[in-house]
Amino acid sequence: MPFDAIVMRAVTHEWEPALAGARLLAIHQEGPRVYLSVEDPTGLRTILLVVLTPAFRRIQRAQVIPRAARAAAWADRLKGSRIMAAEQVRWERVWRWQLEVTDDVGRSELATLVIELAGHLTNILWLLADGRVGDAYRRIAPGRPGRTIFPGQAYAPPPPAADPCATGRPADLPPWARRMAERRQISLPDLCRAYAAGQFSPWEGPGPDGTPQVWVYPLTPEWAPADSWSRAWARWGAEREQHQALADARRSVLATIDRELSQVARQLGRTDDEIDPDPERWRRLGDALLTVGPTWDPGARAPTLVDPVSGDTLQIPWRDQDAHFKDAAAYAYHRYKKAKAAAAAHERLVPHWVGRREALVAERAQVEAASNLAELARHRRAQHPGAGGPADARLPYRRFVGQAGTEIWVGRTDSENQSLTFQAARPDDLWFHVKQYPGSHVLLRCGKSRPPTADVHDAAVLAAFYSRAGRGSSIPVDYTPRKFVKKRPHGAPGQVLYGREQTLYVTPDREVLARLGARREQLVGEGPGHGA
């Protein structure tokens, strides 16, 4: 990932002079995008976009705040604060703003806004003057693995990275800089001097995997200077996010095709134990038993029987030696009819399964060659007829398809919530429920695969929308693997206890809901709502 500590230094160095003395007017968020509205002492307003999706983390200028963005409730106290200073933590992807906050009665106090873009720990939080957490975009409750980021708790910064300028070791540099140092394209002292000055220019070009990248130096002769960091990151982000959405959608559609191919292969490869290769042997055995009649001695425990008509020796494939010959013959005829019908059905269905396999193989090739989301959307609609629109009343749950193609199920009533969670769900499917409000149980049907971020967000939006908090903003939605959800002892249907949850703050946006096909309905009985 190119947004390393060196790029962070270049971007923050560009912004820090303009931030000193400015006002933080408001903080808005739309999913993992946080918009910081700033006004400098001259009255010039600027919007700073922080993208917290780990794969696309970056800081850039934004032209407008989208209509779908909502005021960040967790940062409401920081509105109107004065930015006293802004500084990047040395060789870290952490940016700290020192703020002067005025409370409701006019008293001033200090606070710190911390922007963390380190690995999967991306977050924005603010600290009280004594170092305790005021609130955060991503809360991590006490007792959870890793650091605690929770209101009132002491703040622990990310584990510090080594300072290569202090250690003198190129091995402590970020990956791209380390490779350039190893190839002697830049020396460590020169890089340290450039880092201290912070005056890096943006360069654009193909990365090692062929995808577009932005960095502080050209990696190959094909790279060219960019006009500005913000515009370069905006181009990079749009292309990478579109590429990732296409990859996620393709992976989801291919997973569905591969599952069906496996089912077809099982049908075509049924064993001889399932399809009897010689159903006629059962008919011959029944005829022989009726011909022999009372002379057959089941007590002799003979494993074979000689057919008096043909003289063939027939195997007796059962151990019940006390059966009457008529019962034994009836059983043999029953097996004959069953085996013959199974063999005929299998033979009749083989052309169907072969044709289905050929169609799936052809469809798989089309999906792999698809170059845009519209093509993949057609395949998703074919795989999930009726999904993506208002739920079909004949289906047991509301059913939707996320942006990247993962199926999302939503319970309508308490009984449906119960059935959805404890009968339909697989152990590793992600289970969603709005925090501290009655609402529907929501299931992201991802199984053991890692779900696309876009589909996790869509599932959280649906959980918020189909709840009593559905018309609010920055609604907290908990999610956890279904295996960590348990029935509440002696509770009503749909009431559960759960653990190891994470929390997303989402706002049910009209455009997202329209894309998913969600609409509010009159709920049966108490509605979805006494779950959790």
- pLDDT band, very low/low/confident/very high, at 301 (cuts 50, 70, 90): low
Helix (H, G, I), strand (E, B) or coil at 399: strand
What average pLDDT does the segment 327-344 reach?
83
- Residues 21-45 pLDDT 10s: 999 999 999 989 999 999 999 999 9
CA distance 366 to 356: 15
Phi, psi (degrees; rounded to nearest 5) at 34: -120, 130
Q: Are 459 and 436 in contact (CB under 8 A)?
A: no
| pLDDT of res. 385 | 54
Phi, psi (degrees; rounded to nearest 5) at 453: -60, -40
- Residues 436-453 pLDDT 10s: 899 999 999 998 888 888
For tokens 């703050």, what's the residue?
Answer: 505
- Residues 380-413 pLDDT 10s: 666 655 444 443 444 578 888 888 878 899 999 8
Residue of 153, 110, 116 whose CA lies nearest to 135: 153
Q: Are 59 and 116 in contact (CB under 8 A)?
A: no
Distance of CA 441 to the CA centre of its chain: 17
- pLDDT band, very low/low/confident/very high, at 256 (cuts 50, 70, 90): confident
- Residues 124-146 pLDDT 10s: 999 999 999 999 999 988 888 88
| Topology, domain 5-160 | ibrinogen binding protein from staphylococcus aureus fold (2.30.310)
- Residues 266-281 pLDDT 10s: 777 765 456 777 788 8
Q: Please give the helix or strand (H or E) that residue 366 lies within, else none.
A: helix 325-369
CA distance 222 to 459: 41
What average pLDDT does the segment 301-317 reach?
72
User: What are the angstrom distances between the C-alpha of 297 and each of 8, 300, 331, 447?
Assistant: 91, 6, 17, 57
Q: At what angle do helices 5-19 and 229-268 cross, to 10 degrees?
A: 140
Nearby residues of 133 by Cβ (< 8 Å), 6 or more positions away: 125, 126, 127, 149, 150, 151, 152, 153, 154, 155
Q: Please give the helix or strand (H or E) that residue 289 lies within, else none.
A: helix 280-292
CA distance 279 to 336: 5
**Domain span(s) for CATH 2.30.310.10 in the chain:** 5-160
**0.75 surpassed by pTM:** no
Residue of 85, 79, 75 whose CA lies nearest to 38: 79
Mean pLDDT score across all residues of the chain? 85
